[in-house]
Amino acid sequence: MKPAIRLVCTVILLILTVRPSSATAAPAPTTIPLDWDVPGGHFYTEANGFPVGTSPMGYAIVDDDQAHLWTAFREHGGVKVLGYPISRRFIWGGFVTQATQKAVLQWRPDTHDVDFVNIFDELSKHGADAWLSSVRSIPPPLPASFDQGLSWDQVVSQRLALLRTHPSILRSYQAATNPLELYGLPTSRVVDVGPMYVVRLQRAVLQEWKTDRPWARAGQVTVANGGDLAREAGIFPWKAFLPMAPPVGTWTARSEAYVLSGHATWYGPGFVGKTMANGQIYQPDDATTTASNAFPIGSQLRVTSPKTGRTITVVVRDTGRFPYPDVLDLSPAAFQLLGASLASGVVPVTVTLIGSARDDTTSRTHAPPSA
């Protein structure tokens, strides 16, 4: 097929409507801002991986001397078209990159604009086709021989003809202002996967539902979320998806404003003597230490276990590779002080932010992390 076509609009949705977070939660109190302006751009907490309004962590999308991603984000439709940011900046393929729910933006200095990654082509390259088929009901791409011997115009004509078997899908595709740039070309036939008909494209998956669903009516065509699927498949560095603290001076930690329920675990032997995210050395016998991805480094937290009835106060000094509903990774001393046995490994907790985060640990929000 022809090399990747440059996008100027959305890539993909997991469902038609934009869901603020993968975690289910009641609406956030109106007194807690979910996103706000920061120097050069905007900071979003809606897709930080925790129930909406329970964590101040998120992702900044900004203009700076590296890339004008905030300008490009707005010009290409912002949240309505691209969804919320789901990653920090990172370097991928030699370019400054940032993922949103529906797209992966790459800054191109030569055009002073972004290109959007052909997510589903990349998933194929990373061997994710079987996973997409078995877990997400997304068909594999047609073999390369499908276009053998054809000119580019013939390739386009033959690929678009794949949509004609299902008029609703074809109409949805054609309804876009520029569908070739918006979705790319079809890379599979339309397939019946039970509750829906599905067709895979370079940058999207279109789904026609057979019966009414909570998110779609019978006959309605929705579009799958490519950025979220790429994150789930692990084709990008996992550290890029760790939510970050708000930039210094843009947010104030208000005591009792953020309350988060989930699970607490503990970590120890493999980390003894190693440097934590705040620069200190990890000591497993320090009962005030915890790792968390839900609160900024330096945050003071009140932790209560409904199971044991005990309450402790800890400080966030580290982060880690653990997703919600795991909200804390305590030192062994803190875990036991909470009344839990190390053998149990996990205990339910309610966590309340009670203290301010340290400014000197929240300033490096724009630098791309290493892979």
Give the model's pLDDT for residue 203.
85
Q: Which among 329, 357, 340 is positioned nearest to 258, based on CA atoms?
A: 357
Query: Secondary structure of 39-59 in the HEC alphabet?
Result: CCEEEECCCCCCCCCCCCCEE
Task: State which H helix or E strand residue 122 sits in.
Answer: helix 119-125
Task: Give CA–CA dist 5/343, Å, rounded.
Answer: 54
Give the model's pLDDT for residue 80.
85
Give the model's pLDDT for residue 178.
72
Give the model's pLDDT for residue 112.
92
- Amino acid present at 86: I
Q: Quick one: residue 256, left, alpha or beta (phi over 0 = left, psi -120 to 50 = alpha)?
A: left
Predicted structure pTM score: 0.84
Give the model's pLDDT for residue 358.
53
Token pair 């061997």 in the structure block, residue: 127
Give the model's pLDDT for residue 186.
97
Q: Which residues of the chain have pLDDT under 70?
A: 1-30, 177, 357-371
Taken in order of first residue, the domains within the chain and their CATH numbers are: 1-249 (no CATH), 259-355 (2.40.40.10)
Give the model's pLDDT for residue 20.
52
Task: Give CA–CA dist 107/228, Å, rounded.
Answer: 19
